[in-house]
Amino acid sequence: MSNLIKSEKNGSLAKPGMTGTFPTWSSWIDEMFNNDLPSVFKTNFNAGFSLPKVNISETDDAFTVALAAPGMKKDDFKIEIDNQVLSISSEMEQNEETESDNFTRREFGYSSFQRSFTLPESVDSEKATASYEDGILKLELPKKEEAKKKPP
Protein backbone atom coordinates (compact mmCIF):
# COMPACT_ATOMS: atom_id res chain seq x y z
CA MET A 1 0.00 0.00 0.00
CA SER A 2 1.36 3.39 -0.94
CA ASN A 3 1.75 6.28 1.49
CA LEU A 4 2.06 8.83 -1.29
CA ILE A 5 -0.13 11.92 -1.31
CA LYS A 6 -1.70 13.01 -4.53
CA SER A 7 -0.53 16.51 -5.39
CA GLU A 8 -1.74 19.10 -7.86
CA LYS A 9 0.14 19.59 -11.13
CA ASN A 10 1.97 22.58 -9.70
CA GLY A 11 3.44 20.32 -7.00
CA SER A 12 1.50 21.99 -4.18
CA LEU A 13 -0.20 19.97 -1.44
CA ALA A 14 -2.79 22.74 -1.02
CA LYS A 15 -6.37 21.93 -1.86
CA PRO A 16 -7.99 23.53 -4.89
CA GLY A 17 -9.36 26.94 -3.92
CA MET A 18 -6.40 27.64 -1.67
CA THR A 19 -3.82 30.31 -2.28
CA GLY A 20 -0.41 29.44 -0.96
CA THR A 21 -1.02 27.52 2.25
CA PHE A 22 -4.11 29.47 3.30
CA PRO A 23 -7.61 28.84 1.99
CA THR A 24 -9.40 31.56 0.09
CA TRP A 25 -12.11 33.38 1.98
CA SER A 26 -14.92 31.72 -0.01
CA SER A 27 -13.55 28.18 0.43
CA TRP A 28 -13.12 28.78 4.17
CA ILE A 29 -16.74 29.96 4.50
CA ASP A 30 -17.99 26.99 2.42
CA GLU A 31 -16.01 24.55 4.53
CA MET A 32 -17.26 26.09 7.77
CA PHE A 33 -20.94 25.76 6.80
CA ASN A 34 -20.68 22.38 5.05
CA ASN A 35 -18.94 20.57 7.92
CA ASP A 36 -20.45 19.50 11.23
CA LEU A 37 -19.80 21.64 14.25
CA PRO A 38 -16.47 20.89 15.90
CA SER A 39 -16.76 18.63 18.94
CA VAL A 40 -15.93 21.59 21.21
CA PHE A 41 -19.34 23.09 20.39
CA LYS A 42 -21.21 19.80 20.73
CA THR A 43 -20.08 18.79 24.22
CA ASN A 44 -22.73 20.73 26.16
CA PHE A 45 -25.59 19.78 23.87
CA ASN A 46 -27.55 16.57 24.32
CA ALA A 47 -25.25 15.36 27.15
CA GLY A 48 -24.68 12.04 25.42
CA PHE A 49 -28.33 11.01 25.59
CA SER A 50 -29.82 9.83 22.34
CA LEU A 51 -32.98 8.17 21.15
CA PRO A 52 -33.13 4.69 22.71
CA LYS A 53 -32.91 1.73 20.34
CA VAL A 54 -35.88 -0.59 20.14
CA ASN A 55 -36.25 -4.25 19.19
CA ILE A 56 -39.72 -5.50 18.31
CA SER A 57 -40.43 -9.20 17.92
CA GLU A 58 -43.55 -11.27 17.30
CA THR A 59 -44.51 -14.75 18.45
CA ASP A 60 -47.74 -16.66 17.86
CA ASP A 61 -49.20 -15.20 21.08
CA ALA A 62 -47.72 -11.71 21.51
CA PHE A 63 -45.51 -8.84 20.42
CA THR A 64 -42.49 -7.94 22.54
CA VAL A 65 -40.99 -4.44 22.58
CA ALA A 66 -37.54 -4.12 24.17
CA LEU A 67 -36.20 -0.57 24.61
CA ALA A 68 -32.57 -0.03 25.67
CA ALA A 69 -32.43 2.72 28.30
CA PRO A 70 -29.61 2.03 30.78
CA GLY A 71 -29.21 4.15 33.88
CA MET A 72 -32.91 4.82 34.32
CA LYS A 73 -35.51 3.63 36.81
CA LYS A 74 -38.87 2.03 36.05
CA ASP A 75 -40.62 5.15 37.37
CA ASP A 76 -38.80 7.33 34.80
CA PHE A 77 -40.95 5.96 31.96
CA LYS A 78 -44.40 7.05 30.85
CA ILE A 79 -46.13 4.35 28.80
CA GLU A 80 -49.48 4.91 27.09
CA ILE A 81 -51.61 3.06 24.57
CA ASP A 82 -54.25 5.23 22.93
CA ASN A 83 -56.10 4.38 19.69
CA GLN A 84 -53.71 1.50 18.99
CA VAL A 85 -50.66 3.81 19.31
CA LEU A 86 -48.03 2.82 21.86
CA SER A 87 -46.06 5.80 23.26
CA ILE A 88 -43.02 5.42 25.48
CA SER A 89 -41.51 8.62 26.84
CA SER A 90 -39.25 9.88 29.57
CA GLU A 91 -38.02 13.18 30.95
CA MET A 92 -34.98 13.43 33.16
CA GLU A 93 -33.55 16.47 34.90
CA GLN A 94 -30.16 16.36 36.58
CA ASN A 95 -28.68 19.01 38.87
CA GLU A 96 -25.21 18.90 40.35
CA GLU A 97 -23.48 21.44 42.56
CA THR A 98 -19.89 21.46 43.81
CA GLU A 99 -18.68 23.97 46.37
CA SER A 100 -15.11 24.72 47.38
CA ASP A 101 -13.36 27.57 49.18
CA ASN A 102 -12.67 29.38 45.92
CA PHE A 103 -15.61 28.53 43.68
CA THR A 104 -19.07 27.17 43.26
CA ARG A 105 -19.86 25.10 40.20
CA ARG A 106 -23.38 24.22 39.17
CA GLU A 107 -24.23 21.98 36.27
CA PHE A 108 -27.64 20.92 35.13
CA GLY A 109 -28.94 18.79 32.35
CA TYR A 110 -32.26 17.90 30.86
CA SER A 111 -33.05 15.10 28.48
CA SER A 112 -36.20 13.59 27.11
CA PHE A 113 -37.35 11.19 24.45
CA GLN A 114 -40.53 9.78 23.03
CA ARG A 115 -40.98 6.73 20.82
CA SER A 116 -44.37 5.92 19.27
CA PHE A 117 -45.51 2.82 17.41
CA THR A 118 -48.78 1.99 15.73
CA LEU A 119 -50.00 -1.35 17.02
CA PRO A 120 -51.86 -3.86 14.87
CA GLU A 121 -55.55 -4.40 15.61
CA SER A 122 -54.65 -7.89 16.84
CA VAL A 123 -53.05 -6.51 20.06
CA ASP A 124 -55.08 -6.76 23.25
CA SER A 125 -53.85 -3.53 24.86
CA GLU A 126 -55.82 -4.17 28.08
CA LYS A 127 -53.49 -7.08 28.92
CA ALA A 128 -50.17 -5.33 28.16
CA THR A 129 -47.43 -5.60 30.80
CA ALA A 130 -44.12 -3.81 31.31
CA SER A 131 -40.93 -4.58 33.23
CA TYR A 132 -37.54 -2.89 33.55
CA GLU A 133 -34.41 -4.91 34.26
CA ASP A 134 -30.69 -4.45 33.49
CA GLY A 135 -31.31 -1.28 31.46
CA ILE A 136 -33.98 -2.83 29.23
CA LEU A 137 -37.62 -1.77 29.31
CA LYS A 138 -39.63 -4.77 28.11
CA LEU A 139 -43.27 -4.60 27.06
CA GLU A 140 -45.36 -7.70 26.42
CA LEU A 141 -48.33 -7.00 24.15
CA PRO A 142 -50.50 -10.11 23.97
CA LYS A 143 -52.62 -10.79 20.90
CA LYS A 144 -56.38 -11.11 21.04
CA GLU A 145 -57.60 -14.72 21.21
CA GLU A 146 -58.97 -14.65 17.65
CA ALA A 147 -55.61 -13.41 16.31
CA LYS A 148 -53.46 -16.13 17.91
CA LYS A 149 -52.27 -18.89 15.63
CA LYS A 150 -54.05 -22.11 16.32
CA PRO A 151 -52.33 -25.47 15.86
CA PRO A 152 -53.67 -27.43 12.87
Q: Domain boundaries in the chain?
A: 55-146
Give CA angle at 68 (54, 79), nearest 5°.
Answer: 75
DSSP-derived secondary structure letter, 36: P
55-146 architecture in CATH?
A: Sandwich (2.60)
Whether pTM > 0.75 for this model: the answer is no
Q: How far apart are CA 137 and CA 140, in angstroms?
A: 10
Kindly give the confidence (pLDDT) of every residue in the chain, 152 residues in length, as a single tens digit, with 9 standing for 90 and above. 445 555 555 554 555 555 555 556 666 566 656 665 554 444 444 444 578 999 999 999 999 999 999 888 889 999 999 999 999 999 888 788 888 777 777 777 778 899 999 999 999 999 999 999 999 999 999 999 887 777 77
